[in-house]
Each structure stands twice: as C-alpha cells, then as structure tokens.
Structure 1
Amino acid sequence: MWFNEACIYQIYPLGLCGAPAENDGIREHRILRVLDWAEHIRGLNMTAVLFNPVFESDRHGYDTRDFFALDCRLGTNEDFAQVCDALHAAGLKVILDGVFNHVGRGFWAFRDVQQKKWDSPYKDWFHLDFNGDTQYGGDGFWYEGWEGHNELVKLNLQNPAVVEHLLEAVRRWAQEFEVDGLRLDVAYSLPPEFLARLRRFAEQLKPEFALLGETLHGDYNRWMNDDACHSVTNYECYKGLWSSFNSGNMFEIGHSLARQFGPEPWTLYRGKHLLSFLDNHDVERIASMLTNPAHLRPAYGLLFGMPGVPAVYYGSEWGIQGKKSEGDAALRPALEIPRKNELTDWVAALAAARQKSEALRYGNYRNLLLTNAQIIFERAVEKERVLVAVNAAGEPFTAHFDAGAGCAIDLVTGLPHDFGGGSLLEPYSVCYWQVS
C-alpha cells in the first residue's frame, strides 16, 4: 500500500489559511493559499498531504455542520477540488480528516431536533433524553457529548441511517476531490462494527484507500487490523521522541521501539506501519518541547529512521514554536508562505534517504547500542541493512559495536564510513549507514 511508503505533511487548514476562530458565515476563498505550498511540500520530499477538517463547522472543524460542503471560511468545494488537483499533479496523495464520532451543535440534523423535538425524523441520530437538558439550556433534551464536551454532539453510530450518511460523504469526497485516504478522528471512540463497515467500504471505493486512526494508548492492534484501520497514530513513541532528548535518556525511546518492533516473539507491531510524529495540531510544537534547540536535527533524524510512516506538521520543518498553554491557536497559526532554512534542508534530506531505502521503509528493528545520550539501531530487509546512529550529546562520541560489516555509505550525505577502530559520531548528529 502507498501509505506504508509515505512521508506525510500535515496541514490544519483553518489555522494555516487564517480563518476566524468562529464561523462568521462569510465565504472567503482562503483554501487557495495552499496552492502556494505545493512546491514547498514536494521539495521536502513529502509524498502525501493530510488535511485536518475542511468541512463546514461551528468553530474548529471537529464540530461539523455539514459533511458535504467546504467550510465557508475556506471557500467552496470547487476551490478545494482545485487544491487537490494541484497536489495530485505534484505527485502527492491527499488524506482528509474524517470526524465521524461527533458533530457540532450547528449540524443540520441536530438543529432539526432542536426545532421539532420528538417530531424530528433525526432524533435517533443522537443519544437523547427528553427528560433532561444540558448546560446550554433551552434544547428541551439532554444529549451525550464527546467525553463531556457538549459542544461536540455524539452521533449514534448504531443507527444505519447515520452510517449511510457518513459513507455517502466519504464516497462524495473520493469522487469530488479524489482523496486517497482518511484520518479517523478519535478512532478509539468509534465502535468496532463501524470501523469494520468503513474498512469494507474503503476497499470497494478505491484501490489502496488508506484508513489512519487516531489512537492514544493501549494495544493499537485493537484499532489496526484487517477489520479496522490500516495504521494508527503512535503516541507511545511520540512521548519518547522528545523526552528521551530532554531527560538524557535514550533508553526510553530505544525500549519503546524494541517493544513495538523488535525481534522478540512478544513484539506488538513488527511489520506494521504506525504514524510517527514529533508534533501535530493537538500537542506542543517540537521546537517548544525540546529544552535544547540543537536536538531538533537529531530528533528529526530519529523520526525518519525509526519504523513507521513519518509525518511533519506545517511550519515545524523550519522550527516554529507553539505552546499548548497558550491555547490551540498557538499550535495552529496562520502562515502566509513557507520558509526554508537549514532545518528544512535537513528534513528534505532525511525524507529522500528514506524513500530510496527499502530497509528504512520496511526493515525490522534491532537495538545495537544504547547509552544515555546515544542510540544505534538496525533496520534490515533481506538485501539491505541500515544502521541509524544518533548522538544527542554536545560532544563527539566514538561508538564501539558489532556492525556486522567493515564499511558503509551514509544515505544522507553519500559519504563512505569505515567501522574499523570505532565509529565517530559528531555532536547532535544522525547517520544512516547503509550496509548492502
């Protein structure tokens, strides 16, 4: 599947395009700004674009009003089709955010229930109790919100009419925008039978239509199997990717990766392709999380070298900051045009190395060396091995370990490497040593 070989660029469009926080009902063609990003994204050697919500919503996109219409703050369906066409022409796949667990209070069917109460044909689309109310008051009924957030009205996914409505939306997205996959918001909240139905539908809809589920903790195999998602978000390793650097403890990420992908028979996800990331629209920017800015380069090196499908969040490739304590707007800023600096060049080089290496895309995982500040691991397929070496320290380190070979080529720099006498790692460095 194409997803297993992807490098994904994530965009939160309401933020990037500078839409107002509240839906003001004014149509502005802001989504066309993404056209100016296509060349930048391709120059980073990304292969797919993940759009967070683009459809009509109350505020932030996860409170949908209409699954069939682009948010007026972003423009029209025709505008978005133009953007998708441009991205596809640049060789990029397109993934949309599928928000199927809940909708906003402005969702057309919920508004009908507010107006007609018991007489609404849509009252069974939600989990309602006409003997209560919520903190909003005036609805004349209580309803279940997502995890206590009553601005997000939970859909009744046991209702066949609701499921058919959502599947028809997906069908329309595939036809109108030729999308190649979906990110399923809060996939861990979706019923297994809904995931199974969506998986069968996706398989018939379009060859290799990818389903990526948002999951947090627990056994990811619950949501990543032949009757659910193809992949899920790897939040376990997300935490290790930044805290291993901050705490000077590379054992944390090394043990997490070995637990997930290592050679032991109890390994959980060997051969599977979880989504790996340093940051996204819900968490602090990596440049704000790392206490030492010099760790940005090795953190990205680790991201692209580890098993999984790497994702880069817009703006982080040149090191912008954003703190969760400052609110969602700080994590989802408006950016006029993309920038380029040494970090973007580094990310592009890492993505290029990954794309030309079968071992980095599909290889098994095995730790070769672990210290507080260094990690060296092997990614191996039948005809290729790549040794990923990370030095998080501010001084050079000479690594002595059994490489199983005398020489290698660094996939990032193209320079030869001799393992004899120890392998020198420069401060804050990452090497991808290819051994054929």
Structure 2
Amino acid sequence: MVRWAEYAIFWQVYPLGFTGAPRVLSDEPDRHRLRRLVDWLDYAVELGCSALLLGPVFLAETHGYDTIDHFRIDPRLGTDEDFDRLIGAARERGVRIVLDGVFNHVSRRFEHTEWFRRRADGTYDVFEGHQHLVALDHENPAVARYVARVLDHWLERGAAGWRLDAAYAVRPEFWRKVLPSVRQRHPEAWFLGEVLHGDYAAYAERSGLDSVTQYELWKAIWSSLNDANFFELAWALKRHAGFLETFVPQTFVGNHDVTRLATCLTDERHFGHALALLMTLGGIPSIYYGDEQAFRGLKEEREGGDDAIRPRFPRDPAELAPFGWPAYRLHQRLIGMRRRDPWLVRAQTSVEHLTNRAVALRAHSAEGEVLTLLNIGDEPYRFPLDTSGFSVIGAPSSEEGPGRPVPGHSWVVLRRPDGPGAASG
C-alpha cells in the first residue's frame, strides 16, 4: 500500500460540472476553467482534506467519460499550463491530485479505431448499451502499451495516482500487465479501481490495484439509516472486515454517480450518523464536493440525469449559501477527529450492541480504541456498555458524554487512548 494514501482524506470533484463547462465539446477556444479549482484548494485544506480526487480532465465529447484523447486537456477546462498551475498550487499546500482515467471504453472519435473490440457479428462492442462508448480490446498488446504511456505521462506531470473508471468491466489481468512497469517508474503512485459489486478482495489481488471502491458499505450506510435496520449495516461490516485483511477500500457516502446523501436520506437528522460512520470505519474516505455543504441532488436514469449531482460551484466560497456551513463545520470536526487517529484507516470494527435502531461499533488497534454509538430512535438510548476511560471526541452537541443515554436521532464517538488490551486488564 502506498503510504501517503493510507492517511489521505480525499475531496472528490467533477471538474466539468464544478466549473460550469458546456455539456458538449465545441470549437470554442480554451476557456481556462481549470484555474477556478486553484481558488478552492484552501477551502478543501480547511475542510481537512489532503488529496483531490479529480474527475475527467481529458479531451472528451460530453461528460468526460467518452474520451477522445488521453494526452490532451479538454479545452472546456483549459490547457496543459492550467493543469500545471493546479498541480503546482496543490503541491504548495501539500495536496496530492489523483486523476480519473477511462480505459475500458472511449468515444467513437478516438483515433485508434483498430483497437476497438468487436462482437461476433463484426460490430463494435459498447459499454453497457451506450452506443457512443466503444469498448477497447484489452487483449490487444497495443492497448496495454497505450494505457501505460498515458499513466506515465500524467504521473510525470505531477499527478499522484489514478482512479481507473469502470475497472470492473476490465479483466483484472489487464491491470496486472500494465501496472508493474508504471510502478517501477512511479513507486509512490496510488491506483484505485472502480468496482461496483462482486469479490472486491479477489479483484484487488488479481489486478494489483491498491484499492477499489466500497459500494457495499455505501449502500448499507444510507439504507440501514432509512430502513431503521442496523442489522444490514452489521452484515456489511463483516464483509468490510474481510476486505481490510487484504487491502484498504476507498470509502464514501457520496460520489459523482449516486444520489446525494442529503437527498438519499429520508430523515435529515441522520446526516451526521452517516458521516460519523465514514470517519470511524476502516478505509480511505472521500468527500464528494457539495456534500460538505449538504447539497441535494437526485440521480436519474435519463439523458442529463447526472446534472443535478454534478453542479456548478460559485467562483468563491463566500458565495455559497449560508445554510450549508453547519454541515461544513460538522465535516471539519469529524475529519479532524479522523486525522488525529490515523490508525483508523486499517482498524477492525466489531459490533458491540445491536438493535434495529441502535448500534455500538468498536474500532480498535494497538494504538487506540474508538466507540461509535448511533441512535435513530425517537427516545434516548442507554447502551449497555462499560465506557469508563473513554472521552467524547465527536458529537453533534455538548450534551452527549460517556455513560449517558444517547439522545433520540443522535450519535456520539468516544475514544480510549490505550489499545483494546488495556480494556480487559
């Protein structure tokens, strides 16, 4: 595992939406919109983030996942110089940038049509029925060489790693062929694969990727809160514990492909519960831009159905609506808590107490022990746990404390500085 990534908190940004770029590529001159991100780096750092997970920036027809040329910055966003400026500004602040690479499929305008994968009838294979997204032939050695060149090029230009879009649609052995030579030249580079379902651990092992996306945990978090069914969360945490034995997943409660957390939750009082889980469970957490301001947005399966979850940000943080700043400050507190206990990235979590509406989770390592108590019932709940030696490190108000009932629809995070061995001594 690349060491810097273990301690990273990511702020994920979809740049075409964030900067208000046109939805479709045109002949307009370079617009230098990428520079707007420079003005938001301090905002991300003050939030507590140490890395930027940047959506597609390469020449594409529409949404960025229909790439035309992986070696050229999309003119809707700017130029190579704008990219260099962003990298330099991020480096000055100690922020690493991970790029989004789409290598399963490309635009039909992609130059190397001889690399397109064909069906038995001779027509081009496409990605999940999208006729404008043509699948690459990953059995062709030229494709592997091309992907390695792209990865190398932008790592040389200052990127710290790659998110590999739709990795689940590519046989893991392809990445196993591509990555070793890239890692030899860039040993500190971090590689994240987008995997939706299946055996995450097996895919990570067979591909050689550092991490994959933890969609199972994302779903269990909001679904268990909505359904008042923490048994679903407990089941997902068993799976999560198994993943952590072989790799460190990327964890999230929102990203560019799903309905916003604030919209997804049926009870807005449980927003903090979801965030407390994200910041106390093992994994490498990311915050999707706007979630830290409690943005709302519904993803729809239609043309333009992603627009609501990929909005334009204003030019300056001062232009954000005032009602979003309490959510930002909550993120600050919980991210700060996470960064003070970096061992949580690999922490194993056990379920200490479980009902439909109340759960107690114990994250532990030799370096410490954290209890996360969640109550989504209407009445205060007293957890039957010994909390002597613990202190409050996270709560929505000052009313919560060790040994006290957790108020209805509230939560509290407690910490004991000793390892779990001290608890039984």
TM-score greater than 0.5 by the shorter chain = yes
1:332 alignment partner, one of 310, 314, 320? 310
Which amino acid is 2:265 matched to?
L
Give the CA deviation at 1:415.
Answer: 8.1
Structure 1 segment 58-69 matched on structure 2, within 5 A: 58-69=61-72
Which amino acid is 2:237 matched to?
L
Local SS of the residue matching 1:50: strand
In structure 2, C-alpha distance between the alignment counterparts of 1:129 and 1:356, rounded to whole Å: 53
2:383 alignment partner, one of 378, 394, 399? 399
2:25 alignment partner, one of 8, 23, 26? 23
Q: Which runs of 5+ in 2 are unaligned?
A: 419-425
Structure 2 vs 1, CA of residues 237 and 152 (structure 1 numbering), >3 Å: closer, same or farther? same
In structure 1, C-alpha distance between the alignment counterparts of 2:358 and 2:55, rounded to whole Å: 35
Q: Indicate conservation of the 8 Å contact 2:172/2:206, yes or no.
A: no
If the length of structure 1 is used for normalisation, what is the TM-score?
0.88
The residue number in structure 2 matching 1:270 is 245
Answer yes or no: is 1:412 the counterpart of 2:414.
no
Answer yes or no: is 1:290 the counterpart of 2:265.
yes
* 1:154-190 deviation line (CA, Å, top 9, x unaligned): 11122122221221111110112x1111111111111
Q: Indicate conservation of the 8 Å contact 2:204/2:211, yes or no.
A: yes
* 1:280-311 deviation line (CA, Å, top 9, x unaligned): 11110111100111111111111111111111
In structure 2, C-alpha distance between the alignment counterparts of 1:76 and 1:293, rounded to whole Å: 41
The residue number in structure 1 matching 2:124 is 143
Local SS of the residue matching 2:204: coil
Q: Indicate conservation of the 8 Å contact 1:56/1:66, yes or no.
A: yes
In structure 1, C-alpha distance between the alignment counterparts of 2:104 and 2:9, rounded to whole Å: 27
Q: Indicate conservation of the 8 Å contact 2:38/2:86, yes or no.
A: yes
Structure 2 vs 1, CA of residues 205 and 244 (structure 1 numbering), >3 Å: closer, same or farther? same
1:157 alignment partner, one of 128, 138, 142? 138
Structure 2 vs 1, CA of residues 106 and 323 (structure 1 numbering), >3 Å: closer, same or farther? same
1:229 alignment partner, one of 209, 212, 221? 209
In structure 1, C-alpha distance between the alignment counterparts of 2:386 and 2:392, rounded to whole Å: 17
The residue number in structure 1 matching 2:355 is 371
Q: Indicate conservation of the 8 Å contact 2:282/2:345, yes or no.
A: yes
Which amino acid is 2:17 matched to?
G
Give the CA deviation at 1:131.
Answer: 6.8
The residue number in structure 2 matching 1:90 is 93
Q: Indicate conservation of the 8 Å contact 1:65/1:106, yes or no.
A: yes
* 1:40-94 deviation line (CA, Å, top 9, x unaligned): 1001101111011100001111110000010010000110111121112111111
In structure 2, C-alpha distance between the alignment counterparts of 1:36 and 1:226, rounded to whole Å: 40
1:387 alignment partner, one of 368, 371, 379? 371
Q: Indicate conservation of the 8 Å contact 1:408/1:416, yes or no.
A: no
* 1:25-46 deviation line (CA, Å, top 9, x unaligned): 3221111110111011001101
Q: Report which stretch shifted further, 284-293 or 187-196.
A: 187-196
Local SS of the residue matching 1:411: strand
Give the CA deviation at 1:12.
Answer: 0.4
Q: Indicate conservation of the 8 Å contact 1:379/1:385, yes or no.
A: yes
In structure 1, C-alpha distance between the alignment counterparts of 2:398 and 2:95, rounded to whole Å: 30
Q: Indicate conservation of the 8 Å contact 1:408/1:418, yes or no.
A: no
Q: Considering only CA atoms, is the larger Rg found in Structure 1 or Structure 2? A: 1
Q: Report which stretch shifted further, 200-209 or 74-83.
A: 200-209
Q: Which runs of 5+ in 1 are unaligned?
A: 111-122, 133-141, 262-266
Answer yes or no: is 1:167 the counterpart of 2:148.
yes
Local SS of the residue matching 1:223: helix
Q: Indicate conservation of the 8 Å contact 2:148/2:182, yes or no.
A: no
Local SS of the residue matching 1:182: strand
2:57 alignment partner, one of 49, 54, 59? 54
Local SS of the residue matching 1:95: strand
Q: Report which stretch shifted further, 183-192 or 69-78.
A: 183-192
Q: Indicate conservation of the 8 Å contact 1:258/1:367, yes or no.
A: no
Which amino acid is 2:298 matched to?
K
The residue number in structure 2 matching 1:362 is 346
In structure 2, C-alpha distance between the alignment counterparts of 1:53 and 1:31, rounded to whole Å: 11
In structure 1, C-alpha distance between the alignment counterparts of 2:232 and 2:386, rounded to whole Å: 22
2:181 alignment partner, one of 201, 206, 212? 201
The residue number in structure 2 matching 1:100 is 103
Local SS of the residue matching 1:216: coil
Q: Percent identical across equivalent pairs? A: 34
Structure 2 vs 1, CA of residues 418 and 283 (structure 1 numbering), >3 Å: closer, same or farther? closer
Which amino acid is 2:308 matched to?
A
In structure 2, C-alpha distance between the alignment counterparts of 1:237 and 1:78, rounded to whole Å: 39
Q: Indicate conservation of the 8 Å contact 2:201/2:247, yes or no.
A: no
Give the CA deviation at 1:399.
Answer: 1.1
The residue number in structure 1 matching 2:223 is 243
The residue number in structure 2 matching 1:318 is 293
In structure 1, C-alpha distance between the alignment counterparts of 2:247 and 2:286, rounded to whole Å: 16
In structure 2, C-alpha distance between the alignment counterparts of 1:391 and 1:202, rounded to whole Å: 47
Local SS of the residue matching 1:9: strand
Which amino acid is 1:234 matched to?
Q
2:166 alignment partner, one of 186, 189, 213? 186
Give the CA deviation at 1:397.
Answer: 1.6
Structure 1 segments (4+ residues) deviating >6 Å: 413-418
Give the CA deviation at 1:240.
Answer: 0.9
Q: Report which stretch shifted further, 197-206 or 327-336.
A: 197-206
Which amino acid is 2:124 matched to?
Y
Give the CA deviation at 1:203.
Answer: 1.9
CA RMSD of aligned residues (A): 2.1
Q: Indicate conservation of the 8 Å contact 2:148/2:179, yes or no.
A: no
Structure 2 vs 1, CA of residues 428 and 360 (structure 1 numbering), >3 Å: closer, same or farther? farther
The residue number in structure 1 matching 2:422 is none
Q: Report which stretch shifted further, 324-333 or 232-241.
A: 324-333
Structure 2 vs 1, CA of residues 272 and 365 (structure 1 numbering), >3 Å: closer, same or farther? farther
